[in-house]
Amino acid sequence: MSGTSVDAVDGVLARFDGDRPDAPIRTLAFESEAMPGALRETLLSLQSSGPDELARAARATVELTDIYARVARSLISGANGPVTALGAHGQTVRHRPELGYTLQLIDGARLAELTGCTAVVDLRSGDVAAGGQGAPLVPAFHALAFASDRPRAVVNVGGIANVTLLPGGAGRVTGFDTGPGNLLMDAWCSRHLGTAFDRDGAWAAGGRIDRSLLARLRAEPYFARSVPKSTGRDLFGPDWLDAQLSAYPAPVVPRDVQATLAELTATTIVDAVAGSDAVELKVCGGGAHNRHLMTRLAALLAPRPVGSTADWGVAPGAVEALAFAWLARERLAGRPGNLPQVTGARGPRVLGAIYAPPPS
């Protein structure tokens, strides 16, 4: 898995104890490789049109696939027995389901060749073809991994944040993208501090929330849209923030903007959870390591407890990769991987394209 933060490729080695969709899942190993700086810049630049775009995308796909293969080979080498398949999300560079497409860069044939393992890729397009958003896909996995008899919420805070609302018992699972997660905070931090992210949210914690600016940011129509809905860098990129700031009548202090961006992430997540029956929230993704963000979520959702998915036995950095391992397993079993009530697709769909490994 590599997400909208474009900071690393994360992989897990997982064992499914049984053939049913809800078979227990065990995480056997975790591996991560940081995204090289030059490749990260290329992938970010491909979020918008530019010269030699197709060739740059093709070269980036090769380099990215090689990183996926290295992570996968490391995990495969530690497996106690053969690995059935590899599920690979790829790197999203465009997400426009309203126009009928979503684009993740990954070369499935190359991945299968380099790993000697069946590769399942292109896991979103089938949902989009059926009129869905293609995202979020993880609620189906969250429901299997984290559901209980009590209503719960799970939020993944990557570049974009998405929430899954688990009703407790046999109720209806819902979920959607709440809006920016780490994306805008990371971009602003990079611009003003020259660092990839705000470690522990310390810079934001020392700033003052600009309530007027926060209200302007929260006035973005996306937040008021009804579900199903999903979003990405196509909307919430640095250009969006620059446009908001250029129209803001008062001068801004960079550290205060960082505090305000953290509050934007926190309040839009809270809007989704507070209006539900969820009695607790668990966070996964990189945002789970942002102490300031976690503190704000806890304060805004009190008395509901807030923690990370580690409290439920799954490390926050492994959840999304586990979800795509499960989606690959469902593809090989010929079972649907989407939840139509989440994505808006016309019905359940089997997701993903399969690439066979070379002959042994």
Q: Do β-strands 119-121 and 86-87 pair in parallel, antiparallel, or remain unpaired? A: parallel
Q: What is the DSSP string of 153-184?
A: EEEEESSEEEEEEE-STT---EEEEEEESSHH
Specify if 209 maps to a domain.
Answer: yes
Q: Are residues 124 and 238 in the same domain?
A: no
Q: What is the mean pLDDT of residues 21-48?
A: 94
Specify if 251 maps to a domain.
Answer: yes
CA distance 34 to 18: 33
Specify if 236 maps to a domain.
Answer: yes
Instruction: Scan for tokens 């106690």, then name that residue.
Output: 80
Specify if 1 maps to a domain.
Answer: no
Q: Are 11 and 1 in contact (CB under 8 A)?
A: yes
Q: Are residues 342 and 279 in the same domain?
A: no
Q: Given this model, what pLDDT does residue 171 score? A: 87
> Each residue of 282-293: pLDDT tens digit?
999 999 999 999
Q: Given this model, what pLDDT does residue 298 score? A: 98
Is the pLDDT score of 360 beyond 90? no
Quote the number of domains for the chain.
Answer: 2
Within 13 Å and on the Cβ side, how many CA atoms surround 117? 25
Residue 153 sits in a domain whose CATH number is 3.30.420.40
> Each residue of 189-226: pLDDT tens digit?
999 999 999 999 999 999 999 999 999 999 999 999 99
Q: What are the backbone dihedrals phi and psi of residue 61, each rounded to the nearest 5 degrees, phi first? A: -60, -45
Specify if 2 maps to a domain.
Answer: no
Note the pTM of the prediction, 2 decimals.
Answer: 0.94
Q: What is the DSSP string of 347-359?
A: S-----EEEPPPP
Q: What is the mean pLDDT of residues 230-252?
A: 96
Question: What confidence tier does 170 reach under pLDDT thresholds 50, 70, 90?
Answer: confident
Q: Are residues 192 and 239 in the same domain?
A: yes
Q: Given this model, what pLDDT does residue 117 score? A: 97
CA distance 284 to 5: 14
Is the pLDDT score of 113 beyond 90? yes
Specify if 3 maps to a domain.
Answer: no
Q: Are residues 229 and 281 in the same domain?
A: yes
The first and second tokens of residue 333, run together, are: 């079993």
Specify if 22 maps to a domain.
Answer: yes
Q: What is the mean pLDDT of residues 308-334?
A: 96
Specify if 111 maps to a domain.
Answer: yes
Full residue range of the structural domain in which residue 58 is found: 8-131+318-355
